[in-house]
Every structure is written in C-alpha cells, then in structure tokens.
Amino acid sequence: MIIECCNLKKEYTADNTLVTAVDNVSLNVAAGEFLVILGHSGSGKTTLLSLIGGLTKPDSGEVLIDGVENWHQGDDALSDMRNSKIGFIFQFASLIPTLTALENILLPLTFGKTPRGGYQQALDILEMVGLPDKANAFPAQLSGGQQRRIAIARAFINQPDIILADEPTGDLDEETEHDILNIFKEYNRKGTTFVVVTHNIHLARTQLDARILEMRRGVLREKVPVAA
C-alpha cells in the first residue's frame, strides 16, 4: 500500500465547542489507485486529506507513505517527502501573486534536493492544462478558473507518486472540468495514485472510474448512498 492510515483522529475547538473532524479513520490506498472521498462541507474530508499529506499532525493514529510514518521522521525528511512524493491541489488556487504563472508552476522544484523537471516540462504542463499563452501572466491577470488550472499544473511538476486533490474542479466550467479529469485519468493510467475529495457525487460517479467512499461527521464509510 502506498498510503496507510490507522485509527486517525483529529479534534479542534470552534466557538468553545469540541469538534471531531476525523474520527478514528483507517484507510489503505494501493499504488496506482484512484480514490474519491465524497462529503458535504464540514464532513472532515479536507482535514483527512491534510493528515494524509503530512500537513496536519493527528491527535492520535498513524499515516504511512510508502511504509514510512509521517510524524516519526524529522521535519526536513517530512518536507522532502511531501515535495518529492506528493502533489497537492488545494481547494483554493493559493498562487503567489508576485510570480508569473510559469514561476508558480516551477516553484516546487526550488525546494527539491533532486528536481525531476524543468522549464520545458513546465511549458508542456501549461499546454496540457490549456494555458500555453499565459506563461508570463500574473495571478491577478488570470480568471479564477485559469488560476485553478495553474495550481493543478503546479501539482504535477515534480512528477509525484501521489496527487491529493481538494475539490479540484470546483470553480471550473464544464468543458474545462472534463479536460482536467481526462488529464487525471491519463496520469492515473501511467501509475499516479489519486485521492480526490469532493462534494460532487455526479462527478465521482459519471466522470471517474474510481473507488468511492463517503465521509460524514468525521467518519469514513465504505458505502455511498444511492441518492445523489
């Protein structure tokens, strides 16, 4: 298994109320698998994705990536693992406003000890997401959908083994959504493991050939309800 989660729990306090965002979740994801986790806002799916990616430390439980537990290694090793093995697509584009689209895509390479890409690869990925003419544009000059596509391109630049995606097509038009999902499918066919969280059951059922789980109130369930 490329991802192993064992009895994960994460709580936080909101308005003086204790909230269990992730409640004793165990999950295995095989290398090359495409997993979709469905859930409404507040279900805990984004927190679970953050725990898997080593961005948030669980209150209890373990996450192993390629057999190595995230929080049993030092900060430098954890950072290196995140940069080399995982591509993150966040719910919001989170581009650096002072960098061009091309520079934003190239940014992960500056943190890697052994970069696996370069300028031409970034240009190729820009073309792949349909924005070959936006290399020198700054985020403020791009629409919300274009910014999201740049963020998706950035996630692929290090050729990661795993893509963790939080509502990756949330603000894209239907045609662009279709194009992006086709890119996901192509990378998945080449062996990239995907964990995608979304509230869009139609997307999960009709556009992705994936294993589908459901998250409700911090609990991960195997069976998805029939009703959309």
pLDDT tens across 120-165, in order? 888 999 998 889 999 999 999 998 888 988 999 999 998 899 999 9
The answer to whether residue 54 sits within a structural domain is yes
The answer to whether residue 227 sits within a structural domain is no
The answer to whether residue 43 sits within a structural domain is yes
Report the CATH number at residue 32.
3.40.50.300
Q: What is the DSSP letter of 223?
A: P
Q: What percent of the chain has pLDDT over 70?
A: 93
> What global pTM score does this model have?
0.89
Number of domains in the chain: 1
The answer to whether residue 226 sits within a structural domain is no
pLDDT tens-digit readout, 40-70: 888 999 999 999 999 999 999 999 999 999 9
The answer to whether residue 59 sits within a structural domain is yes
Amino acid, single-letter form, for residue 83? N
The answer to whether residue 164 sits within a structural domain is yes
Nearest residue to 89 (alpha-carbon basis) of 179, 185, 164:
164
Beta carbons within 10 angstroms of residue 15's beta carbon: 5
Residue 101 banded pLDDT, cuts 50, 70, 90? very high
Residues 192-197 have a mean pLDDT of 94
Residues 185-201 have a mean pLDDT of 90
Region of residue 86 (phi > 0: left; psi between -120 and 50: alpha; otherwise: beta) = beta
The answer to whether residue 228 sits within a structural domain is no
The answer to whether residue 55 sits within a structural domain is yes
Residue 147 tokens, joined:
């910014």
Q: Which domain holds residue 102?
A: 3-221
